[in-house]
Amino acid sequence: MGQAVVIKNTVTLGDMLLIDTDRSFTGQDGHVVIPDSLGRGVPARLGQKVFAADESVDYAHVLQNQVSLRRRGGWDEASIARVTGAVEDFLLFY
């Protein structure tokens, strides 16, 4: 059992949600994750958790401590809460 990821800030830009955290998920290379991609490693697992939390999210880019998500139809408070919850809990049960 790990520690919760702290969300430091979120910003919405149209269909994009930018999440700034207190944990680094990657090195200096960004990783793109899409729902149909099996992917490997921490970024792929994080992306899959987010996709499971909200099926309208169709793209994730993970770069160090930032997670950028695209959601068809934009974001509301409930959808933001679902995906930030998935990010916060990601390292609890890795």
Distance CA 77, CA 53 (A): 14
The domain ranges of the chain are: 7-89
Strand order of the β-sheet with 7-13 is 7-13, 16-21, 66-71, 57-63, 31-33
pLDDT, tens digit, for every residue of 37-81? 877 899 999 999 999 999 999 999 999 999 999 999 999 999 999
DSSP assignment letter at 23 = S
Please give the model's pTM, rounded to 2 decimal places.
0.92
pLDDT of residue 8: 98
pLDDT, tens digit, for every residue of 12-32? 999 999 999 999 999 888 999
CATH of domain 7-89: 3.30.1370.70
